[in-house]
């Protein structure tokens, strides 16, 4: 027996040494929870058959089994398996501070989502900014999760670049620097029904590398870059370019004009701001349009509203209407829904934030809304087949297709009925609207689609 014990001890030492020599450090010894501590909820964490097992407990908030150590740049690998359809996640670069929500764990989360929405591998900002990268941005990665079997996962955090992988396929990619160091944690999600108590999630083969980090070669995965007015190497590879340089008026001019407006717009601190005036359309500096025209594209933009403000992003703008007010085009509405009267006009909310103005209302998803004065992330996607999407803060809130009978029917009953073939130009400019209220823009980026 003594000889067997010594043999096992020797084998364990050799395996540990080999892991250290190839740059990987195990975070779980396969026997107990040494090096981990539990925060927030009181879900059950045990070790069974060489795996950490988390078990739901009714009436408890989200629970987290966290590493005692914090990590900055690293590559983390782990496997997980679910015995039910429970939601879970793995926190990384996360924190718990007494002055933030009484110690609530917050930070980046590798999503574990077995539901039909299939967002496993997406990046969620727990107790902070909500969704940063839902897998609707990369639907090709959705089938990688296979329920009932062990799923191999990888997280790469190198500087501000964060990427996730599920069974070897890249799932999510963001660029962000809000938290550059923090602990790793295994989440057991809260449950709403007593019948859901006792559901289990298992983790094993949890290991980390902190030196000689070699990122996985870049693929053509959509990137969410949260650093203002910057492009990452991955974005450049995808063909994304800045449509505004953050410093000058290059690339833009006044609508129906040859030059950028001499008044009404301010460029400062990396922000392009409509100056407040009388609240009227194009009565101060006027709208500005992109020099370039676009057919199929992804247009990303950050915007910040002042109280009661109104503005908009228009697309497929041709300037052929000789209109005296704002130029005509399909419009992503930008509005303070609570304070501006436009939100109650139109039909069934089709003039609210992120709506297709006067045509289609956006979904009323409260989690997509930010407080007035905070930055929002907007996105307009026009596919080559004329399908169009409106996104707000990581949520797709609207989808339609230009040129369908439904589209023409909507136009016929709108304020745009007077313009033949409204919104159906093959190419058009992008427009930032001057509606006489203070609204700021930044991180204007475009990727043309083939």
CATH of the domain at 137: 2.60.120.560
Shared-domain flag, residues 435 and 316: yes
pLDDT at 22: 84
pLDDT at 5: 39
Shared-domain flag, residues 252 and 180: no
228 lies in a domain? Answer: no
Burial code (b: 16+ CB inside 10 Å, e: under 16) for 339-359 equals ebebbeebeebbbbbbbbbbb
Q: How many degrees, rounded to 5, is the angle at CA 339 between CA 337 and CA 341?
A: 80
pLDDT at 21: 53
433 lies in a domain? Answer: yes
Residue 152, beta-bridge partner list: 79
Q: Are 99 and 212 in contact (CB under 8 A)?
A: no
127 lies in a domain? Answer: yes
189 φ/ψ angles, rounded to the nearest 5 degrees: -75, 150
Residue 208, beta-bridge partner list: 25, 76
Query: Distance between CA atoms of 403 and 249, rounded to whole angstroms?
Result: 34
Shared-domain flag, residues 249 and 205: no
Shared-domain flag, residues 39 and 88: yes
> Please, what sign has the CA dihedral across residues 124, 129, 132, 134?
positive
3-state SS record for the chain: CHHHHHHHHHHHHHHHHHHHHCCEEECCCCCCCCCEEEEECCCEEEEECCEEEEECCCCCCCEEEEECCCECCEEEEEEEEECCCCCEEEEEEEECCCCCHHHCCEEEEEEECCCCCCCCCCEEEECCCEEEECHHHCHHHHHHCCCCCCEEEEEEEECCEEEEEECCEEEEEEECCCCCCEEEEEEECCCCCHHHCCCEEEEEEEEEECCCCCCCCCCCCCCEECCCCCCCHHHHHHCCEECCCCCCCCCEEECCCCCCCCCCEEEECCEEEECCCCCCCCCCCCCEEECCCECCEEEEEEEEECCCCEEEEEEEECCCCCCCCCCCCEEEEEECCCCCHHHHCCCCCCCCCCCECCCECCCCCHHHCCCCCCEEEEEEEECCCCEEEEEECCEEEEEEECCCHHHHHHHHCCHHHHCCCCCCCCCEEEEECCCCCCEEEEEEEEEECC
Shared-domain flag, residues 203 and 270: no
pLDDT at 323: 66
Domain count along the chain = 2
Report the candidate in 180, 158, 154 with the shortest Cα–Cα distance to residue 234: 158
Token digits of residue 122 = 């997406």
Shared-domain flag, residues 103 and 58: yes
Beta strand pairing status for 439-448 and 241-242?
antiparallel
Query: Distance between CA atoms of 197 and 54, rounded to whole angstroms?
Result: 11
Query: Distance between CA atoms of 408 and 423, rounded to whole angstroms?
Result: 10
232 lies in a domain? Answer: no
Shared-domain flag, residues 260 and 168: no
Shared-domain flag, residues 59 and 140: yes
pLDDT at 343: 87
Give 295's contacts (C-beta < 8 A, 6+ positions apart).
Answer: 382, 384, 426, 427, 448
Token digits of residue 282 = 């194009």
Domain that holds residue 440: 239-448
User: Whole-structure pTM over 0.85, yes or no?
Assistant: yes
Shared-domain flag, residues 44 and 181: yes
Report the candidate in 445, 299, 443 with the shortest Cα–Cα distance to residue 379: 299
What residues of the chain score a pLDDT lower than 50? 1-2, 4-19
Residue 301, beta-bridge partner list: 378
1 lies in a domain? Answer: no
8 lies in a domain? Answer: no
Q: How many degrees, rounded to 5, is the angle at CA 302 between CA 296 and CA 306?
A: 130
Shared-domain flag, residues 152 and 248: no
Burial code (b: 16+ CB inside 10 Å, e: under 16) for 2-40 equals eeeeeeeeeeeeeeeeeeeeeeeeebbeeeeeeebebbb
Report the candidate in 272, 215, 266, 213 with the shortest Cα–Cα distance to residue 242: 272
Shared-domain flag, residues 281 and 139: no
Shared-domain flag, residues 161 and 254: no
């Amino acid at each position: 027996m003594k000889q067997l014990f010594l043999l096992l001890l020797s084998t364990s030492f050799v395996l540990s040494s080999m892991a250290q020599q190839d740059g990987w450090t195990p975070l779980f010894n396969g026997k107990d929870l040494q090096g981990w501590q539990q925060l927030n909820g009181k879900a059950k964490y045990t070790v069974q058959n060489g795996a950490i097992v988390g078990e739901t407990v009714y009436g408890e908030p989200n629970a987290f089994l966290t590493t005692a150590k914090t990590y900055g740049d690293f590559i983390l690998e782990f496997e997980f398996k679910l015995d039910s359809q429970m939601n879970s996640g793995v926190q990384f670069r996360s924190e718990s501070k007494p002055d933030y929500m009484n110690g609530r764990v917050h930070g980046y989360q590798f999503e574990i989502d077995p539901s039909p929405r299939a967002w496993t591998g997406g990046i969620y900002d727990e107790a902070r900014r909500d969704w940063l990268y839902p897998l609707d941005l990369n639907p090709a990665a959705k089938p990688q999760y296979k329920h009932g079997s062990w799923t191999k996962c990888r997280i790469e955090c190198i500087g501000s670049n964060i990427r996730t992988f599920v069974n070897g396929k890249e799932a999510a990619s963001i660029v962000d620097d809000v938290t550059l160091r923090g602990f790793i944690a295994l989440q057991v999600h809260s449950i709403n029904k007593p019948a859901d108590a006792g559901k289990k999630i298992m983790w094993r083969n949890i290991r980390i590398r902190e030196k000689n980090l070699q990122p996985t070669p870049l693929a053509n995965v959509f990137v969410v870059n949260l650093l203002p007015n910057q492009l990452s190497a991955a974005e450049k590879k995808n063909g994304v370019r800045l449509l505004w340089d953050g410093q000058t008026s290059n690339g833009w001019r006044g609508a129906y004009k040859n030059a950028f407006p001499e008044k009404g717009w301010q460029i400062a601190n990396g922000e392009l701001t409509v100056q407040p005036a009388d609240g009227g359309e194009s009565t101060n500096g006027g709208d500005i349009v992109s020099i370039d025209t676009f057919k199929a594209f992804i247009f990303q933009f950050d915007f910040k509203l002042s109280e009661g403000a109104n503005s908009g992003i228009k697309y497929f703008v041709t300037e052929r209407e000789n209109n005296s007010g704002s130029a005509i085009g399909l419009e992503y509405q930008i509005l303070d829904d609570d304070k501006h009267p436009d939100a109650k006009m139109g039909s069934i909310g089709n003039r609210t934030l992120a709506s297709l103005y006067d045509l289609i209302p956006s979904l009323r998803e409260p989690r997509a809304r930010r407080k007035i004065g905070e930055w929002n992330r907007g996105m307009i996607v026009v596919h080559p087949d004329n399908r169009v999407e409106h996104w707000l803060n990581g949520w797709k809130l609207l989808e339609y297709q230009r040129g369908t009978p439904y589209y023409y029917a909507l136009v016929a009953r709108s304020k745009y009925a007077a313009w033949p073939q409204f919104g159906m130009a093959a190419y058009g400019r992008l427009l930032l609207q001057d509606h006489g209220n203070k609204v700021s823009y930044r991180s204007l980026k475009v990727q043309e689609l083939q």
